[in-house]
Amino acid sequence: MTLIETHPQDTSRTRPGGLFTGYRLGGLTLPNRVVMAPMTRARAAAGGLATPSMATYYAQRATAGLIVSEGVQPSLIGQSNPGTPGLYTDEQVASWRPVTDAVHANGGRIFAQIMHGGRVSHPDTTGLVPVGPSAVPAAGEVFTPTGPQAAPVPRALETGEVPEHARSYASAARRAVDAGFDGVELHGANGYLISQFLSINSNLRTDRYGGSVANRVRFAVEAVEATIDAVGAARTGIRLSPGGTFWGVEEKDVPELYTVLLGELARLEPAYVHLEATTDDEVLLALRRAWPGTLIMNPVLPLGPARTGRADADRWLGLGAELISFGRSFIANPDLVERLRGGLPLETEDAATYYQGGDTGYVTYSSYRHGG
């Protein structure tokens, strides 16, 4: 099928160098259209504290137009994986300040991704029974301190509890701003709590949060609305994975579901929507047309066989995205922006070091000009 793009285009998207032109995002002026996508690296200290190595890691990549941090839990019960950082205690806030200071000192901008795992968690990780829209376990095994284990059956949230979990994103956002972050991205993708409410097989509710499309998008909208009330629309974004099947979620009528969701979000005017390429181009382009605000596009399937490259970025800039997110390419290429600009070769990261902890495979990659 031939797709005709009708979204009004900024000429900087299609001319040579468009990826390296500036962009105004909320209250920030980005020097380029390259976004570092959020990636779990499992390097936090006990108590969900950020570390000096995390400050080095993010500061090394500060030439990105925008960095979006790894997922940060808004509460203990919201923690999904061991070794991930939080933003729900004063100690956690204090631990993040050297990270944001280091990024800013290197000329960068950084949003915190707020990630509530919902049912994708385990009592061995948090000491708590995970919660979710319904008592339906995630597919597969979840990470725990002693290794992978079968996903447990979560406790279904009572109707009166749901708003508290929506507000937890806002509470973490306040702490993020206090910690020096320039804004926050709500993790509404990849089978975590917001995604679980959107899903037809993890959300079997019959109350105002389940059933119809209008009800299934309600939790996402309430979480975004609370966050905007807390820190402002210019500091709030959301990441979505339309049609994604991570952790066994299933979505029905994807175009309708996300068109309704984007319509509700449009009236709140968040800084951006961050879409993953988890469905076909026809649907993604329809969602681009349905969304009047800034779009960050992640052009390839997260954790799929391909990595986002310059051609993918240029293509989606031409199709109407304002910003392009790159994930794994940033791991082994802290100077990814410079490599893309100069057409320089990209290094391949060691996948064995994704989550192993320590500095190896984390802050040990060099820039090209220093022999990387």
Residues carrying an active site annotation: 192
Quote the tokens at residue 8: 């009004």
Vertex 237, ends 60 and 205: CA angle to 5°?
Answer: 125
Q: How far apart are CA 182 and CA 200, in angstroms?
A: 34
Per-residue b or e along 22-32, where b marks 16 or more CB atoms closer than 10 Å to that residue's CB: ebebbebebbb
Residue 360 in contact with residue 51, Cβ under 8 Å? no
CA distances from 67 to 103, 134, 137, 242, 286 (A): 9, 33, 32, 22, 27
Quote the tokens at residue 244: 């994604």
Vertex 352, ends 348 and 353: CA angle to 5°?
Answer: 80
Q: Which of 239, 100, 120, 117 is nearest to 182 (CA)?
A: 100
Kindly compute the dihedral angle of the four CA atoms of residues 127, 129, 132, 135, in this order, to the nearest 10 degrees.
160
